[in-house]
Amino acid sequence: MLHHPSPTPFQLAVTVNGKLVEREVVTHLRLMDFLRDDLGLTGTKEVCGEGECGACTIIMDGQTVNSCLILAVEAQGREILTIEGLADMDALTQLQKAFEDHHAVQCGYCIPGMVLIGEKLLERTPQPTRAEIKYELSGNICRCTGYHKIVDAIENATDKHA
């Protein structure tokens, strides 16, 4: 009979949405599951679980990453921003407002990832072209909107960022 070794515990310390979080985690825990299940930050979505759809996008140390492909232990000492940390409900970012204004949300499952990708693009390139927006979104799949309204929202938010 095979005996599986017990999961190894790891003392994780990571800053999430501006707050230091310290938890014991098992070393094989995915960062996405840590955020969703341990911290209740369910704005980070799982669709493919293998780096193809972008629904699980978060920002780690200033870079957008797929949290389904990263282990929680790899976030040790890092700073993470999830969609919940982007803005207060009463003070949405210009981009979040643009998503509302352009009716760019249908089921909403892909939207946290789309918004975080859009925010990082606008930070680097305040007035991106539609081609640049589409390129940036190329790792994020939406099954509902046909993408046009999402691109419109990001393009429109640029005026407000300027």
Q: Tell me: does residue 147 bind ligand FES (CB under 6 A).
A: no
Q: Tell me: does residue 42 bind ligand FES (CB under 6 A).
A: no
Q: Tell me: does residue 46 bind ligand FES (CB under 6 A).
A: yes
Q: Which of 8, 13, 103, 107 binds ligand FES (CB under 6 A)?
A: 107
| Selection from 88, 84, 90 nearest residue 21 by Cα | 84
> Which residues are CB-neighbours of 158 under 8 A, at least 6 positions away?
122, 126, 127, 128
Q: Which of 52, 74, 79, 132 binds ligand FES (CB under 6 A)?
A: 52
Q: Looking at the DSSP assignment, which residues form a beta bridge with residue 103? A: none
**Pairing between β-strand 19-26 and β-strand 57-60 as defined by DSSP bridges:** unpaired
Q: Which of 14, 25, 68, 122 binds ligand FES (CB under 6 A)?
A: 68
3-class DSSP state of 110: coil
DSSP state of 4: P
Q: Which of 145, 152, 155, 157 binds ligand FES (CB under 6 A)?
A: 145
User: Which residues sit at the interface with ligand FES, rule CB under 6 A?
Assistant: 46-49, 51-56, 66, 68, 105-111, 142-145
